Structure 1
Amino acid sequence: MTEHTGTVSHFRTIRQNDHVEIETLAALDRALTEGTPLRGLRLQDLDLRRREAALLGHTDLEGLVVLGGRLTPALEAHLRSHGALLFPTDPHAPINPYRAQLYSPHELYAGLAGDGYAATPDARAYAWYQDARVRSDVFVTLLRAVHDDSMGDALDELLDGLPVAGVMGGHAVTRGSADYAAAVRLGHALAAAGLVVATGGGPGAMEAANLGAFCRDSGVLEAAQHRLAEVPGFAADVAAWARTGLAVRDDVAPAEGAPVRSVGLPTWFYGHEPPNVFCDGVAKFFSNALREDGLLARCTAGLVILPGAAGTVQEVFQAATRLYYAGTAKPPPMVLVGREHWTDGIPVWPALRALGDGRAMGSVVHLVDDPDEAVAILAAPWS
């Protein structure tokens, strides 16, 4: 089994349906040394120019799939002439559709300090997503779909075998507020109980929960929140909001190789909401539908739903649909935090109780006021 650390493994070969995905040159070298047949391999985003001599010596290439990467003209001609399938990318696209790892926050915000948010890969990808000139281009659609599949694959690798607790909540919660502090404590407690905290990866309550999980030292969390509160929200100045977050992240980041505790799944569908930086890995998607379903599907330890508005309500009922059709198997719990909000403000709770009546769902849906109660419910099966 792959060791799970804060850095995604760079040495992965996974057999799937009798095909082998190879995501590093080291893995390719092992396959070549061990005499693994090349037909059926999937070479993902590799600089094959550095292995040209070895590959030119092979003719067992029918069914070999090369996803992006770099090739010399001679190697490209050799692969094609012997039946390999080569999938190109667009050098003008702001993303690499065949990437094998999740994003790091610093990667998404590269260039922020010098040229501002508009120059970052995150902002450029959003602009590309919004560009009407390419929105219906079938090749661009294909690249985005492949990119999202690559994100899901990398996320599966990172979370394999780990208990994941999802935290949902509103993006409008501001740094320095009582609600933000409560979400920080929740994320920290869930991670301290041995669960990986997964959120929608955006600002507000999502950022707070990711921060709480990402910061291992409870003693520095209060100081970190005070620093973040200097820029309470992102709406006025995304660059200032992100710069403050990155500075705090660098100060509270764990040592390299620390276990995964915090992941975010944002989307360019809501590109006006920048991704928060307090994650061990960021799986950013173009498709919000894939992002939402992928987040819920990976929350093996259950969900905590903090007060929120339309987007959070959508997630509540997406999760409720899974619970409703779970059959007789006991599904992971879903805990709503905030009785007044979920009964009077946005009366979701009565609908959930009605749906769960007489079904397995009824025993795993909870309404509490204290986030500590939510932690106890989710952590119990894993402690």
Structure 2
Amino acid sequence: MTGYEARDRLYTASELLEGFLPDDELGFTKTHDFSVFRRFYMDGFTAPLSIEIRQQQAAHDAAISGALADHLTTARPLVGVMGGHKLTRTESAYLLVVDLARYLTRENFLIATGGGPGAMEAAHLGAMFAYADDFRLNEALNEIQKVPILPHLIGRLFDDAGSILPDRREHLREAHLWLQAALRAKELCPAPYGESLAIPTWKYGQEPTTPFATAYAKYFQNSIREEALVAKSKTGIIYARGGGGTLREIFQDVEENYYEEEASAFTPMIFFDPEGYWQNDAAVDPETGNVSRQGIKLDGVLREIFKLARARRRDTEQCWSKIRFTVDFEEIVGLLESHRGPAQERRALMLQGHAGDLPATP
């Protein structure tokens, strides 16, 4: 199998991690997931070498989109959690995402993320342990924090023949240990697992896909994946601390909300960080480049954007009430619950043609 074959269902963690060798220091690279990434890279990465390759990848992604639509026809209200892949497993922002995702899963929401490390992993970990007791969750956190940081995996990994470059082997050994810690933590979760949905891409296939989700809509084209992640999260989107990728998702969401005809359809945007990351400018030493305080101040910018966008509709305040900078779990649930009806209608419209009778959940 090339990995490009069209499918009629989403992936599972066991399918993506098939071939993993726990005792091999490069066991992560033996998985089906990494093998597909290697093939994707050798076939031109984001610029396929032939029309045949492009067509195979497109057929795969189209089939995944269909499988995702089928999956969502029976899913609970979908809440996106976006955030940076660099967030470490010991940071307070990571641990708070774990707690929030656990709380939201217990409140009958389905968590969806981009399926990578950092804030995304934290969301799936929390969702999986939603029905486990605190002792089991803390055991899992203790296990996963033995390898708190994912190594630097950006940049070329292979030579022209597809072999791993010698100077990158140590990074992949560290990635293996990072994934192995997650798998040990997963083993500590008793049944039933809390469900969650990951929507990753092989564009970032050098990073291990989190094993904590219960379904994976994995794409080759990142643009399709981003559209699926933002567009499907109609109940609301939560933004944990993040960088460039998270900013792209924020402003994709801003664009969709900008053009909404009715304030009732405006999707809630929740900026979630215990240190007010989205409400503070970064503090950077101009001489050394050292960052003493992280932050990207968005509250004023977003207010001005939507003041302009909603001026003619005269519903600026109504829309602004759906943008929150908060870490209050009950406030977040209250906002998401208030949008349940409009989200249900929007999801039914998006999934029209993919299934017959749709359920009464968004």
Shorter-chain TM-score: which interval? 0.7 to 0.9
Indicate whether 1:127 and 2:64 are aligned. Answer: no
Instruction: State how far apart, in whole Å, the 2-side matches of 1:97 and 1:139 are.
Output: 12
Match in the other structure for 2:80:
166
Indicate whether 1:191 and 2:149 are aligned. Answer: no
Match in the other structure for 1:137:
50
Match in the other structure for 1:362:
320
Match in the other structure for 2:159:
none
Instruction: Between the two structures, name the one with larger relative contact order (CA 8 Å, sep ≥ 6).
Output: 2
| Equivalences for residues 1-383 of structure 1 within 5 A | 91=1, 93=2, 95-113=3-21, 116-132=27-43, 135-161=48-74, 162-215=76-129, 216-219=131-134, 220-235=136-151, 236=171, 237-252=174-189, 254-255=191-192, 261-330=195-264, 331-338=266-273, 340-344=276-280, 345-357=295-307, 358=310, 359=316, 361-382=319-340
Structure 1: runs of 5+ lacking an equivalent: 1-90
Instruction: State how far apart, in whole Å, the 2-side matches of 1:319 and 1:133 are.
Output: 30
Which is further off, 334-343 or 158-167? 334-343
Match in the other structure for 2:357:
none
Aligned residues: 288
Larger radius of gyration: 1
Shift of 1:213: 0.8
- The TM-score, its normalising length taken from structure 1, stands at 0.70
Instruction: State how far apart, in whole Å, the 1-side matches of 2:216 and 2:190 are.
Output: 15
Q: Cα deviation per residue 1:347-377 (whole Å; 9 max; x = unaligned)?
A: 2222211122234643322222445533332
Moved over 3 A (4+): 358-361, 369-373, 379-383
Instruction: State how far apart, in whole Å, the 1-side matches of 2:72 and 2:190 are.
Output: 19
Match in the other structure for 1:53:
none
Instruction: State how far apart, in whole Å, the 1-side matches of 2:182 and 2:5 are.
Output: 27
Which amino acid in structure 2 is aligned with residue 157 of structure 1? D
Instruction: State how far apart, in whole Å, the 2-side matches of 1:329 and 1:299 are.
Output: 17
Instruction: State how far apart, in whole Å, the 2-side matches of 1:181 and 1:133 are.
Output: 38
Shift of 1:234: 2.6
Shift of 1:106: 1.8
Whether contact under 8 Å (2:4, 2:57) holds in the other structure is no
Whether contact under 8 Å (1:262, 1:279) holds in the other structure is yes
Shift of 1:96: 4.6
Which is further off, 217-226 or 296-305? 217-226
Which is further off, 157-166 or 310-319? 157-166
Instruction: State how far apart, in whole Å, the 2-side matches of 1:96 and 1:129 are.
Output: 9
Shift of 1:202: 0.4
